[in-house]
Amino acid sequence: MLLCVKSMASEGPLVLGIESTCDETGVALVRDGVLLADVTATSMDQHVRFGGVIPEIASRAHLQSFPSTLQAALDKAEVELGDVDAIACAAGPGLVGSLTVGITAAKGLAAALDVPLYGVNHVLGHLAVDMFEDGPLPERFIGLVVSGGHSNLLLVEDLATDVTELGGTLDDAAGEAFDKVGRLLGLPYPGGPHLDRLAAGADRPFELRFPRGLAAGKDKERYRYDFSFSGLKTAVSRHLRENPEAPSAEVAAAFSDSINDSLTAKAVRAALDQECETIVVGGGFAANSRLRELLGERAARAGLRVRIPPMRYCTDNGAQIAALGSLLVRAGLPPSPPDFGPDSGMELSQSYMAPIEAAAD
């Protein structure tokens, strides 16, 4: 049986994925939709005392960690560097210095191995990675990308070739809002997971209710698929100032309810409007327990399917880059041009750094 799996696995191209958008150095290997290895090194412990990621420290850490992370991934997959058929690296969005380290390494490897290189969209990778858990992605779906930098709703006809941005946050991203309110509540950085755990311990039901951004009035239609979380952050800050004795678990839960109510209501709305049967969720915030619970309930009521990758694939990793890279390879798309560089604000409708003539088609 093992022999059979191995011989099947050797049929398709071996794709190496390299992630370096922020503080995680990730390297993964994928063949025929099977994840052979996914190794991550993080510099988070070097940023904690600053209360945020320091770009220069992150870049230097990528430089230091990359060789050993690559070797560990090759060892785990039991392949040689020379077996690699194509390389994908994150080209954006992310920190320019961090991206540059990963792209430079990828360009060097691609030149030495004489294999095609794809500079891919990190955010779309957060959706692509679900293929390792739930199998090939559906033909058409709504993507909800929620991370420290993004909160977006996408209409995905094909992750490799056809992605439309329906809406996004006008100010803070969901994870960013959690990190900021985590700080207000005195939680360690990054506050997201801590705040999630604190909120899960609240006694329900409770009366406290914070406003939902862009949910009412004339803004409701105009911003049908958009989010706004900065007013909510101000409301929590005011509440804490006026009620210094307020139970923090309840404040955390009411805050989490507000964010997740908006995210889930609009994701379900988008799926119904666009006649999609499936919502795929990705990004660090997809680890949020309330999001998983509420989206599961609401989608089930609306007859929709929800796909959320397991926790280990929610935070940044090489698997997401290899996953998207393998879709581009399978679609037969031309590799990125040799002169592509990092794009910190890469559009979500752009799956990768396509050559000009391909992009114009």
> Which residues of this protein are in contact with ligand KG4, per CB under 6 A?
22, 147-149, 175-176, 178-179, 190, 192-193, 196, 283-285, 287-288, 315-316
Q: How would you list the strands of the sheet with 151-158, edge to edge?
A: 162-168, 151-158, 141-146, 278-282, 305-307
Q: Could you say which of ligand KG4, Zn ion, none residue 149 binds, taking C-beta under 5 to 8 angstroms by partner kind?
A: ligand KG4
Give the DSSP per-residue string, 136-178: SPPSSEEEEEESSS-EEEEEEEETTTEEEEEEEBSS--HHHHH
Instruction: Please state the closest distance from residue 179 (CB atom) to ligand KG4, in A.
Output: 5
Q: Could you say which of Zn ion, ligand KG4, none residue 17 binds, taking C-beta under 5 to 8 angstroms by partner kind?
A: none
Closest to 69 measured CA to CA, from 15, 119, 17: 17
Q: Could you say which of ligand KG4, Zn ion, none residue 172 binds, taking C-beta under 5 to 8 angstroms by partner kind?
A: none
The answer to whether the CB of 19 falls within 8 A of the CB of 26 is yes
Q: Could you say which of ligand KG4, Zn ion, none residue 282 binds, taking C-beta under 5 to 8 angstroms by partner kind?
A: none
Q: Is 130 in the site for Zn ion (CB under 5 A)?
A: no
Minimum CB distance to Zn ion smaller for 147 or for 264: 147
Q: Could you say which of ligand KG4, Zn ion, none residue 309 binds, taking C-beta under 5 to 8 angstroms by partner kind?
A: none
Minimum CB distance to ligand KG4 smaller for 192 or for 318: 192
In whole angstroms, give the CA distance from residue 151 to residue 192: 14
Q: Which residue is nearest to ligand KG4 (CB)?
A: 284
Segment 134 to 153, residues that bind Zn ion, using CB under 5 A? 147
In whole angstroms, give the CA distance from residue 159 to residue 139: 9
Q: Is 257 helix (H, G, I), strand (E, B) or coil?
A: helix
The answer to whether the CB of 17 falls within 8 A of the CB of 86 is no
Instruction: Please state the closest distance from residue 272 (CB atom) to Zn ion, in A.
Output: 27
Instruction: Please state the closest distance from residue 150 (CB atom) to Zn ion, in A.
Output: 8
Minimum CB distance to Zn ion smaller for 22 or for 251: 22
Write out 171-214 in H/E/C secondary structure: CCCHHHHHHHHHHHCCCCCCHHHHHHHHHHCCCCCCCCCCCCCC
Instruction: Please state the closest distance from residue 177 (CB atom) to ligand KG4, in A.
Output: 9
Minimum CB distance to Zn ion smaller for 151 or for 228: 151
In whole angstroms, give the CA distance from residue 34 to residue 139: 19
Among 316, 328, 333, 340, binds Zn ion (CB under 5 A): 316
Burial 314-352 (b: 16+ CB within 10 A, else e): bbbbbbbbbbbbbbbbeeebebbeeebebbeebebebbb
Amino acid found at 183: R
Instruction: Please state the closest distance from residue 24 (CB atom) to Zn ion, in A.
Output: 8
Instruction: Please state the closest distance from residue 312 (CB atom) to Zn ion, in A.
Output: 14
Tell me: cis bond preceding 205? Omega within 30 of 0 counts.
Answer: yes
Minimum CB distance to ligand KG4 smaller for 315 or for 351: 315
Instruction: Please state the closest distance from residue 288 (CB atom) to ligand KG4, in A.
Output: 4
What is the chain's Cα-based Rg?
21
Report the relative pairing of strands 34-42 and 86-92 from DSSP bridges: unpaired
Minimum CB distance to ligand KG4 smaller for 179 or for 226: 179
Distance of CA 336 to the CA centre of its chain: 22
Q: Could you say which of ligand KG4, Zn ion, none residue 142 binds, taking C-beta under 5 to 8 angstroms by partner kind?
A: none
Instruction: Please state the closest distance from residue 141 (CB atom) to ligand KG4, in A.
Output: 19
Minimum CB distance to Zn ion smaller for 210 or for 227: 227
The answer to whether the CB of 58 falls within 8 A of the CB of 94 is no
Instruction: Please state the closest distance from residue 67 (CB atom) to ligand KG4, in A.
Output: 23
Residues in touch with Zn ion (CB under 5 A):
147, 316
